[in-house]
Structure 1
């Protein structure tokens, strides 16, 4: 059963890591996928890989922090496949460290990509989803949206904001038959995450996971398929922890 047959999905930051795993999973489930990424070569390579295996995808270049570029990507995707009925707000830029070491540029970029990007995504897809009769939005949040995190004040703040607009979006968009949910991934090594997390830090995190391993991008992708599909048709405003139990172990 292809659970997303006939759907059109936009995945921000969809060319690498968790975003790419989601893009590929959606394509396997029958969705036509727009892979939105900052670098053309990354977006196009990911789209080509899907197309070569019989899926349907197109690479879309742009910055999730820029409202006009998000709207442009949605319009181009509509020209290719039709109105977007699934949106995954995955794009994020992050740097951990003591708050006093966070520069204005770093803080601004985290907010622009990780929080404003979600809002621009909402605005860009709402009319098309409404016209199509409804849709599903999946935001990538974090356990740190609800837990204290040392040296992650800005990251925690951005992801708490994502959780807030997930819940409020569910309330506001529900009458349009648009569901909004979030995923809180546990420690999941990716190329991007490895830029800010050392091998030693990954091992410390793995040791705290009750299930005994780190996450894999496919773990998050499987959850995204569920939240985008009709299997979760009565689920909205929720945040699904895909973390091997680490959040409740801490709490």
Structure 2
């Protein structure tokens, strides 16, 4: 690694598993100090232990991003441990696919609370720290479904489209404070969680649709997240990068 994030303090929501864990670990290898925020304490602690065992610096933070107070507490605890937060990764999401008529009020509410409100609470929690420090970078995890139609994914698409809009508007509002806001739209990406619900045949069908000929891995998303948090992306804000092997534009 090249130390592109030395001196950064990063809060990663949903940072204990899947894409969030890959981002947490890769940020740490690039020199950042990490706050791993996860709903389950044991998941956050295991990821933080892994980072520390590899020579990085990390603290485990437990909280529900749907709860504003939890996110604010995590930002305060991370600042107390390592100093002001300079990078925020809004990765946490809860989702259920299915026909719209099967979506209950609780399911829809939870998708909005975690996937959209969690982003807003993240903004609010870290903005004072970033402003006081003279700037920062925010990376939101969106989806190609923010711009493409998805059968049985109306609410997921709506939430991710809102995240894309909050990315653009956040870039405009926070830019004068030296804060950049960008998003990543991952294509079909194999994670432990996805492997629990997608069969081998399902992955193969997805792979066949990807022009580059392979499925995404969490490390692919983490690499893009490092770039967007680094000085290499210092003139990029309000953008959404599609890390999808070409599937979005090939089928749009």
TM-score range, shorter chain: over 0.9
Partner of 1:187: 188
Structure 2 distance, partners of 1:203, 1:108, is: 32
Partner of 1:139: 140
1:172 has 2:180 as partner:
no
Partner of 1:128: 129
Partner of 1:8: 9
| TM-align CA RMSD | 0.8
Partner of 2:96: 95
Partner of 1:222: 223
Structure 2 distance, partners of 1:197, 1:72, is: 35
TM-score, structure 2 as length reference: 0.98
Structure 2 distance, partners of 1:4, 1:126, is: 19
Shift of 1:98: 0.5
Shift of 1:199: 3.0
Partner of 1:104: 105
Partner of 2:59: 58
TM-score, structure 1 as length reference: 0.99
Structure 1 distance, partners of 2:96, 2:196, is: 9
Shift of 1:197: 3.2
Structure 2 distance, partners of 1:185, 1:204, is: 17
Structure 2 distance, partners of 1:135, 1:29, is: 16
Instruction: Please give the secondary structure, in 2, of the residue aligned with 1:182.
Output: strand
Structure 1 distance, partners of 2:174, 2:194, is: 32
Partner of 1:23: 24
Structure 1 distance, partners of 2:216, 2:45, is: 26
Instruction: Please give the secondary structure, in 1, of the residue aligned with 2:183.
Output: strand
Number of residue equivalences: 251
- Contact kept, 8 Å, 1:9 with 1:85, in 2: the verdict is yes
Shift of 1:204: 1.1
Gapped regions of structure 1 (runs ≥ 5): none
